[in-house]
Structure 1
Amino acid sequence: MDNIAGTKSSLTWAVNITVVALVLIWLIPTVGLLVSSFRDRDQITQSGWWNSPFAVEQTFRARAQKADMVERDGVFVIEGNVFADADVVEALGEGASLTVSQFGGSSRAPTEFTAGAVAELKRGQTLLVEPSGDFVFTSPDEFKRSGPRVYFAAETPPDFNLANYRQVLTSDGMDVAFINTLTVTIPATVIPILIAAFAAYALAWMEFPGRGLLIATVVGLLVVPLQLALVPLLNLHNQVGIGQSFVGIWLAHTGFGLPLAIYLLRNYMVGLPRDIIESAKVDGATDFQVFTKIVLPLSFPALASFAIFQFLWTWNDLLVAKVFLPSNDASKVMTVKIADDLLGSKGGDWGILATAAFVSIAVPLLVFFTMQRYLVRGLLAGSVK
């Protein structure tokens, strides 16, 4: 009975479960980025985001101050508390109440000994670190320089804060980068839509020699990687005098986005009712009037669908911006600003990376949710006759 038209398939439950599973799989990385954006960067390096609700064991180092050294029965002794060290206070904050679990006398083995045990170190030195953080460092010889280091591990509670967001949002030049991103994205979305709409109408409703060849060319350009055209296109821009500039990147994004735009809009326009267009022409309407008064308003779902894709692509673009924009701070977009100034050459600061991702997608999400109702209608253009 499953093959009878109008009946409900018995496998609907499997489809629903599969869809839910796929949604959850796609959400897992997003949830991980969101959690990491609020975590302390030191805790991120120690444990995964799924362990964020639990305490994290972190390794610190404190210095036994030589100024506190005293001599007792021919032995030099330094006493203190590791949690009073300035570097530890800066890392943990004022008033942190932690417990030392392990300690060591060198950076190569920072957790070699258990808290409360007396450790025998080199040159006859001994070190005792209590769970409370109190330590006693002894040596038969006078301590040199500013004093020896004490390495220890302590369980730190979960630390969620807005420090990463403050660093990203208050970064020097981020406001300029945001304006530059809008300056690149809005024209690079509007220009290809205007050009593609005219071209799509011509390919859909106007008869002229070579139309089929042009359609085939547009389809073929969809599979050409944009990386192949970066250097030749930049050389062309330099020859005509637009070089690395906003005009150059607008034209670059226009060229890269036109094949998809023309293909998407042409498929939609060719599916419009022929009777409406032919009636308008019988009444004396020109092609331009048919395009502006009838075809363009009816094609709004396809226009909005492409606008979403083009806006998301240009807003999140890094490669084209690095090639077609100057490298000075006045011309950097947000992706370049984040990659060059906040992450550095290695890009290993996961807290900043996760925070920057959520800051940069705020505007694209607003655009997507505003126009999402047109997305499916535009994507299905031409699929059903």
Structure 2
Amino acid sequence: MSPPANADPSCPNNDPKYGYCVGGKILEEYTQAGGFPFFGNATIGETSDARGGRFQAFKTSDPNPNVGANSIYWNPNISGGHANQVGGTIRDKWAEKGWETGPLGYPTTRELATRPPGRFNRFENGNIYWSQSTGAHPVWGLILNKYATRDWENGTLGFPTSDEFTTPGNGRGQHYTGGSIYWTATTGAHPVQGDIRQQWANSGWENGAYGYPVSDEGPGGNYSDANGGSYVGRCQVFQNGPITWNTGTLYDQVFSSVVTTSDGKKSLLLQNQSKYASAYSSALTKWNSKGKVVLRPSANSTEAVYQRPVTDVNRSDYSWFGNYSKTTGIRMNTHYLDSVSTAEVENTMIHEIGHALGLKHSCEGNIMFSTSKDQLTFGFVDNDSYKKLWG
């Protein structure tokens, strides 16, 4: 096969035996992206394309299937007017999706190497990724945006193993070597990975009991200094409840101090002796608004045996801001709490009263997350755990 004819537009050798003329911006990309050893001869002349663009196709004798067939596309309004190569399996997938008139649009880069062995092209409206084990698959839209936050193919999701597919409720999903991403207009795009993904899959994916994910996976359970200063569990919230890994139970009636009082009501009897009276009052209001357990002091001596004190301690040798047990009640550690915001004091009070109600350490984004914050509104898991405990 002969090298292509020169770039002169009047080149007479418009014969496939010798290759069609290559010129202008397409010749510029042809030269920069590897020249004749990579592209071989042009198999067609430069041809008009959508939106005022131009393209040309090439075929080399290289046996590598991801090198064998190439095109170069140019549009004056794309990539600053620079032409871009698309080749091999990526080109085949792009063709399947409608070339430049499909949802991906024009290429905005030539084919590039990925850090894990593979290749990709960027397009106006997405990317196509290829690896030897996964083949070529496009990623676009809000799923692409979420994929980007997870460091593309370099992150834990890895390469896509499927094209985007339709799911119930006009949703979308896509599988990767390290998990999946699911999207709906109401829940947004969220990756699902590891053991949480397996449990979700076992339950029927988005069609099962949990529905779609409404959060990314995050830390949960107890905080372990012995584990390098990290949370020992993981949580992810779905439409109909959380799925957790290694967090233990998120709620337990035996753990609580709730009793049924003589009036037949479920009650948590507390006596405030803490200087953080405002935080205590606010916390009672928030928990009482749920309406299933009444939080109040004991009304008579018969009830007093069930009452738990809310007291202060000043202990630098403790690592906690607040603590609850059935024996000692709730203790607020002034050594730390006196130097934090009013909101964080209130958060600690709400959190410890949550333990007295039977809620255990749960997931990031919730009052019952095991690290003190200034969050004052209940999260999904707070509400879900309370409902499962008390209705």
The TM-score, its normalising length taken from structure 1, stands at 0.26
Higher normalized strand content (fraction of residues): 2
The TM-score, its normalising length taken from structure 2, stands at 0.26
Higher normalized helix content (fraction of residues): 1
